[in-house]
Amino acid sequence: MATAVWSRTRALIALAAILVVSLPVARAPAQPAAAPPAPVKPEMVESCPGLIAHETPRAIPVDFRLTALQRSEARITYIGHSTFLLESPELVRIATDYNDYVKPPILPDVITMNHAHSTHYTDFPDPGIKYVLRGWGPSPDKPARYDLQIKDVHIHNVPTNIRSWNGTTERHGNSIFVFDIGSLCIAHLGHLHHTLTQQQLNEIGKIDVVLVPVDGGMTLDLDGMVEVLDSLKARVMIPMHFFSTFTLDRFIERVKDKYTVEYSESPSIVISKATLPAKPKLLVLPGH
């Protein structure tokens, strides 16, 4: 009797084991497949070395910086009209729109010129100037082209057209000169008479500081010049070619809701990539 009971018990145990093995295994809910990583978007290549810092922006008057320029810095001094003196850490000195009337107090190593009228060029530059860069070529079909490395400064130009006195167009009579100094790209628009094409913007490259004519008549009208500034996206814009306080104020009134406006007490500033403002700023230097 006991043997029969034990046999039935073993049979029941075996049957239970079979049932357990045959039951479906409970599984965790399936997780959705991870999304593939988003493709990296192409970005504009910086045309100057250095990183854009996120610290509070500042432009330092040269009066308070009597030491030599650091490798990342450039000094910009407004001489007047469309003439600036640009200085590099290795003491390359550049005068823009050099002419017979408005000149820097020292002899520059490099001068740039434009063909609009005689306050933007000279036919008789000082023979001691090593590099004379005329912003126009020998003919409308042969524009000026420069691609120079002078110590720690690189210079290239982008030709643009200007209006002639008789109302016609002088093709390639103006050049936008671009200077890579320190960690900065600085563009001088010269006597710009029209907005820029995509090709011209590509040739100019990424700009940190732009020197911009703001007269609103002799060069480009105010709306057109604002369009140029919007397309360049420079962090610092320094006005020039404004003749009078009235003309300057008219331009400032036009842009004050778009850009921060700051007035410098000194005509000279020392600036670098690290001191660029977080938002675009119009920096007014004393001059005329």
Q: Count CB neighbours of 51 within 10 A.
A: 9
Residues 185, 182: Cα–Cα separation, whole Å? 8
Q: Tell which residue, 188, 34, 197, 171, has the closest CA to residue 96.
A: 188
Query: What are the extents of the domains in the chain?
Result: 60-284
Helix, strand, coil percentages in the chain from 3-state DSSP, rounded to 5: 20, 30, 50
**Which residues does residue 179 pair with via DSSP β-bridges, in sequence order?**
155, 186
Range 52-57, long-range pairs (CB < 8 A, 24+ positions): 52/235, 52/273, 52/276, 53/273, 53/274, 53/275, 53/276, 54/278, 55/274, 55/275, 57/235, 57/275, 57/276, 57/277, 57/278, 57/281
Q: In this structure, what token pair is assigned to residue 227? A: 């369009």
pTM for this one?
0.77
Q: Tell which residue, 214, 154, 211, 155, has the closest CA to residue 187.
A: 211
Residue 20 has a pLDDT of 37
Residue 193 has a pLDDT of 85
Residue 108 has a pLDDT of 98
What type of residue is 221?
A: D
Residue 171 has a pLDDT of 84
- The gap between the terminal CA atoms of the chain, to the nearest Å, is 124
pLDDT, tens only, 6-50: 444 444 444 344 333 344 444 444 444 554 554 443 233 445 433
What type of residue is 38?
A: A
User: From first to last of its 288 residues, what are the pLDDT tens digits of the chain?
Assistant: 444 444 444 444 443 443 333 444 444 444 445 545 544 432 334 454 333 333 333 444 444 344 699 999 999 999 999 999 999 999 999 999 999 999 999 999 999 999 877 788 899 999 999 999 999 988 888 999 999 999 999 999 999 987 776 777 788 888 999 999 999 999 999 989 899 999 999 999 999 999 999 988 888 999 999 999 999 999 999 999 998 899 999 999 999 999 999 999 999 999 999 999 999 999 999 975
Give me the architecture of the 60-284 domain, per CATH: 4-Layer Sandwich (3.60)
Q: Tell which residue, 282, 276, 288, has the closest CA to residue 255.
A: 282
User: Strands, DSSP E only, in the chain?
Assistant: 60-61, 73-80, 83-87, 93-95, 110-113, 131-134, 147-150, 153-163, 169-181, 184-188, 209-213, 236-240, 260-263, 268-272, 281-284
Q: Tell which residue, 41, 66, 67, 76, has the closest CA to residue 234.
A: 76
Q: Tell which residue, 197, 155, 189, has the closest CA to residue 84.
A: 189
Residues 186, 175: Cα–Cα separation, whole Å? 14
